Structure 1
Amino acid sequence: MSRLVKVLFALAIMGWLSSHPGFAEEKGLTVFAAASMKNALDEVDAAYTARTGVKVTASYAASSVLAKQIDQGAPADVFLSADTDWMDYATRQNTIKAETRTNLLGNSIVLIAPKDSSIDKVAIAAGFDLAQLAGSGRIATGDVTSVPVGKYAKAALQRLGAWDAAAPKFAMAESVRAALTLVARGEAVLGIVYATDAKVEPQVKIIGTFPADSHPPIIYPVAATISAGASAGGYLAFLHSQAAKSIFEKYGFTFLVRPSS
């Protein structure tokens, strides 16, 4: 093959690739995301795949579990945490690309009960007696030592003076969705979850919202992992888009960044 033919062939291939951008990058990526993001992120991922042809495989669990799995070498391109603590952990472990990190979403925590519970709306403020409200029943939330929703819940109850009395009644779950399920099934009379979780579970009702100043700000940071493939950049850009914003807000999340087009 002459040099001229080789050059023409290379130019033709480059032209074909430019008209098929998805082919030039990996056709899939893996996202590790906080359990509370499942419904919203599944829809975001479907929209991204429809637009780019890149398939997204999402793994959902407590942020603590995911951060440790990534640290142990689990293959992931993007990490979405339900708090800054576990993203800080990933930063310290050098498992994410710190320059790609942004605070993407916000949320709130609420008190829930089974849909058919006789417990009605309650005012959550200083002096709130959660232990008395629960009676002989259990209160479900994430593990207060590691799962973000549990950490937020404990911080709020301590601030309100309700933790010490209520602590023995808590059923610590492995994730916020596990806690949500306990309440939906009636295995716990109360639960503390994110507002976005309560929104997607028809078998529970919100009976109170925790004051925003009773706990640290609920922030969902996102970043590419240190081993991220070529598709991660485009995916992160889509998470910051107006299209993603509309979906996240539909599910009750607060969008913390200025959306791109």
Structure 2
Amino acid sequence: MRSARRVGEVAARNHLPDLLMRRRLTALLLACLALPLPAAADAVTVFAAASLKEALDRVSADWEAESGHDVTVSYAGSSALARQIARGAPADLLLSASPEWMDLLEAEGLLVPGTRRDLLGNRLVLIAPAPAAPVPLGPDLDLPALLGPDGRLAMALVDAVPAGQYGKAALLSLGLWEEVAPRVAQVDNVRAALALVALGEAPLGIVYATDAAAEPAVAVVAEFPPESHPPIVYPVARIAGGAANPAADAFLAHLAGDAAQEAFRAHGFAPLPG
């Protein structure tokens, strides 16, 4: 009996290294399976102005289906996106609603030389909750009266976000800014200003024509004269500093192609000649 027990102990000791090795390999395999998969090398990350959402979502989806590459788009105000890129946020492309923020990044050497181009144009409009009658936009317009005793004029940040900057410039040009400035509700981006009007939280707002077209709960009551503000231009460029990404280069070229330009036009943007 003792002899048999000793034989069993010896056999167990002989199999112990194999057992431990199998357990270690199993643990290693499970640990590897738990690790997140690396991002695809041919994925494209785009930072884009909030006003581009519907149009760029369509353009991106069409290109994904055609090319097989993934496109991830982060939407926000152009100023916020430019600051994120300046702080090192990983982006392949920036599509801004203002040349000013692209100029700042270019001055810092954060754009790939030769990739910047003016892609799109837009228009600036005054909106109200739908339905609403047109108003005579001009120096004689009594904006405070239209806002009512407690109403606010919804605008993107007037000193930072392009839609707010264009809107302030237009109101200054028409001589309407000083009287309405205390009644302005400033928000982070143009889509937030659109939402305030769409929800009835503000009786009037200043947004792009493309934003108004995307929201059935608002009506355009006036369009600002193009000469009342700087031209609304959307530049696009490749961001420097990251690894080479041929898919990002291909998507940049696609944005200027006929199919993408037609999609932008269908959403109310004005494609610009390259």
Is 1:130 equivalent to 2:143 in the alignment? yes
Residue 209 of structure 2 aligns with an amino acid whose one-letter code is: A
Match of 2:70 among 55, 67, 77: 55
Q: Secondary structure at the match of 1:27?
A: coil
What is the CA distance between 1:50 and its match in structure 2? 1.0
State the partner residue of 2:129.
114
Contact 1:128 1:161 in 2 (8 A): no
State the distance in 2 between where 1:190 and 1:150 align: 14
State the TM-score, normalized to the length of structure 1: 0.86
Residue 85 of structure 1 aligns with an amino acid whose one-letter code is: E
Q: Secondary structure at the match of 1:179?
A: helix
Deviations 1:98-128 (A, max 9, x none): 4100000000010000114xx5101222333
State the partner residue of 1:237.
253
Residue 123 of structure 2 aligns with an amino acid whose one-letter code is: S
What is the CA distance between 1:227 and its match in structure 2? 3.0
Contact 1:110 1:208 in 2 (8 A): yes
Q: How many residues align?
A: 232
Residue 236 of structure 1 aligns with an amino acid whose one-letter code is: L
What is the CA distance between 1:26 and its match in structure 2? 3.3
State the partner residue of 1:8.
none
State the distance in 2 between where 1:169 and 1:126 align: 17
Residue 170 of structure 1 aligns with an amino acid whose one-letter code is: V
Contact 2:153 2:183 in 1 (8 A): yes
Q: Secondary structure at the match of 1:105?
A: strand
Contact 2:42 2:246 in 1 (8 A): no
Is 1:43 equivalent to 2:53 in the alignment? no
Residue 122 of structure 1 aligns with an amino acid whose one-letter code is: V
Contact 1:131 1:162 in 2 (8 A): no
State the distance in 2 between where 1:226 and 1:158 align: 37
Q: Secondary structure at the match of 2:211?
A: helix
State the partner residue of 2:263.
247
State the distance in 1 between where 2:87 and 2:57 align: 25
Question: CA RMSD, aligned part only?
Answer: 1.3
Is 1:93 equivalent to 2:128 in the alignment? no
State the partner residue of 2:7.
none
Match of 2:94 among 76, 79, 82: 79
State the distance in 1 between where 2:103 and 2:142 align: 34
Residue 266 of structure 2 aligns with an amino acid whose one-letter code is: K
State the distance in 2 between where 1:106 and 1:134 align: 29
Q: Secondary structure at the match of 1:100?
A: coil
- 1:1-261, aligned counterparts within 5 Å? 26-116=41-131, 119-136=132-149, 137-228=151-242, 229-257=245-273
Contact 2:122 2:233 in 1 (8 A): yes
State the distance in 2 between where 1:201 and 1:227 align: 37
Unaligned segments of structure 2, at least 5 residues: 1-39
What is the CA distance between 1:34 and its match in structure 2? 0.1
Residue 112 of structure 1 aligns with an amino acid whose one-letter code is: I
State the partner residue of 2:22.
none
Structure number with larger C-alpha Rg: 2
State the distance in 1 between where 2:256 and 2:246 align: 17
State the distance in 1 between where 2:141 and 2:121 align: 25
In percent, how many aligned pairs have the same letter? 50
Contact 1:94 1:226 in 2 (8 A): yes
Unaligned segments of structure 1, at least 5 residues: 1-24
Residue 192 of structure 1 aligns with an amino acid whose one-letter code is: I
Contact 1:149 1:176 in 2 (8 A): yes
Residue 163 of structure 1 aligns with an amino acid whose one-letter code is: W
State the distance in 1 between where 2:103 and 2:140 align: 33
Residue 215 of structure 1 aligns with an amino acid whose one-letter code is: H
State the distance in 2 between where 1:152 and 1:131 align: 20
What is the CA distance between 1:88 and its match in structure 2? 0.6
